[in-house]
Amino acid sequence: MTTVAAVFLSLACATAPAHADASVKDGKVGLSVKGKSLSVKQAGGWMDGHGTAVRARLYTVHKGQRTDITRWKDATPVTAGTTQFSNVDWNLNGRSFRNGTWLCIEFNKADGTPCAKIHR
């Protein structure tokens, strides 16, 4: 199994939301967040299928206000057996967020925008 395939499987099998750790899916798009309390170490996502020029970015929503926290980043196309997906991740280095902030991902080639609530 390739390293990227292992990463995909770990993202897909993550536990239920707890503090800054979460794994959620909306349609063809998934989001995985790793951290503790209000601090996020890593965030990443995937989109089912391949495509050309697939990109993603992270944003937050707090009290109804949206803020982009990353720029668009090219996703890596991955094939694991018969499964095809596009994968992207960010090292957020323990970035702190306000309690109740929603951390979300969007892909330029898919409609789903899953979000994970960052809380104590």
Quick: pLDDT tens for 45-61: 999 998 889 999 999 99
Q: Taking Cα atoms as reference points, which of 86, 101, 120, 89 lies closest to residue 18?
A: 120
Query: With bands split at pLDDT 50, 70 and 90, how would you rate the model's confidence at 42?
Result: very high
DSSP bridge partners of 94? none
Residue 16 has pLDDT above 50, yes or no: no
Q: What are phi and psi of 84, to 5 degrees?
A: -120, 135
**52 vs 2: CA distance, rounded Å:** 22
* 80-85 contact pairs (CB < 8 A, 24+): 80/1, 80/2, 80/4, 80/5, 80/8, 80/9, 83/8, 84/48, 84/49, 84/50, 85/8, 85/46, 85/47, 85/48, 85/49, 85/50
What mean pLDDT comes out for the span 68-72?
97
Distance, CA of 16 to CA of 92 (rounded, Å): 21
Give which of 34, 36, 87, 97 is closest to 67, Cα–Cα.
97
Q: pTM for the whole thing? A: 0.81
Q: Give per-residue pLDDT as tens, 21-40.
A: 789 999 999 999 999 989 99
